[in-house]
Amino acid sequence: VDPARGDANLDLAYSNFVPSGVSAGDGTIDQSTGNLNLSPGFVDITDFHLAPGSAMVDAGDPAAALPELDLEGNARPLDGNYDEVAVRDIGAYELNPPPPSCPVVPSLCPPDTTAPKVSKLKFRFKFGKGGAIRYRVSEAARIRIVLKPVPAGKGKNRRKVVRIKRGNRKGPGVITLGKRKLKQGIYRLVIRATDKAGNTSKPIVRKVRARR
């Protein structure tokens, strides 16, 4: 800047650029508001429209008094990142995104009403050696198992109800039983699975034997 014309103060806001250069004199440069230093995410090197997922989508100046049309005469601002808030994009062109879909906006997904299924239940246990409960679940779920002694017994021979909870991914599951987890005898085994939507499977009920 020509010293005879005084100092210049620059305010750079809501832009995407690589900061560089030095400043001298009494003028100021303010880059503190809304600027990015990221890949622009254009459609390609000759097309300066923004591609979906660009960091510049909905990153422009949120002030309401700015022009309501982009360089091509399209309305702006639009909600380009599906957060239900319309903010103008950085750049000359406003991204007009496709209508939101279930994978992009989970709130549009229909509610999950399908309960998980538990199958291929197997049990083995020998006192002093331990054992395992094996099963398969149709989707990721929280597994609950209750082993109720039949009969419970009395005094020193009384056996306790054993409850087990654990998370399980879709597919096979194995729960290891410690060598003293169960006392010898018959148990009523009940297993259920509950998915993240709160749907609970039909219980599988079996009579199993803890051997000695």
For the entire predicted model, the pTM comes to 0.55
State the pLDDT at residue 206. 97
Question: Could you tell me which residue, 28 or 160, shows the higher pLDDT?
Answer: 160
CB burial string 42-57: b at 16+ within 10 A, e below = beeeeeebbeeebebb
**Both 33 and 59 in a single domain?**
yes
Eight-class DSSP state of 3 = G
How does DSSP classify residue 78?
-
Residues 93 and 136 in one domain: no
Clarify whether residues 142 and 163 are in a common domain: yes
Per cent of the chain over pLDDT 70 is 94
Cα separation, 75 vs 199, in Å, equals: 44
Cis before 77? omega within 30: yes
Which two structure tokens, joined as six digits, stand for 167? 């998370």
Final residue of a domain: which of 53, 75, 110? 110
Number of independent structural domains in the chain:
2
- 26-35, 77-86, 134-143 — which is least confidently predicted? 26-35
What tokens were used for 71?
Answer: 């360089």
**Statement to judge: residues 2 and 106 lie in one domain:** yes
Q: 194 is in which domain, residue-wise?
A: 118-210
Mean pLDDT of 106-130: 92
What confidence tens digit (pLDDT) does each residue in 158-200 have?
899 999 999 999 999 999 999 999 999 999 999 999 999 999 9
| Residue 3, pLDDT score | 61
- Same domain for 194 and 133, yes or no, is yes
Q: Is 163 helix (H, G, I), strand (E, B) or coil?
A: strand
CATH classification at residue 161: 2.60.40.2550
CA 194 to chain centre: 18
Q: Is there a contact between 95 and 52 (Cβ–Cβ < 8 Å)?
A: yes
Residues 83 and 135 reside in one and the same domain: no
Do residues 83 and 128 share a domain?
A: no
Q: Which of 94, 110, 126 is the last residue of a domain?
A: 110
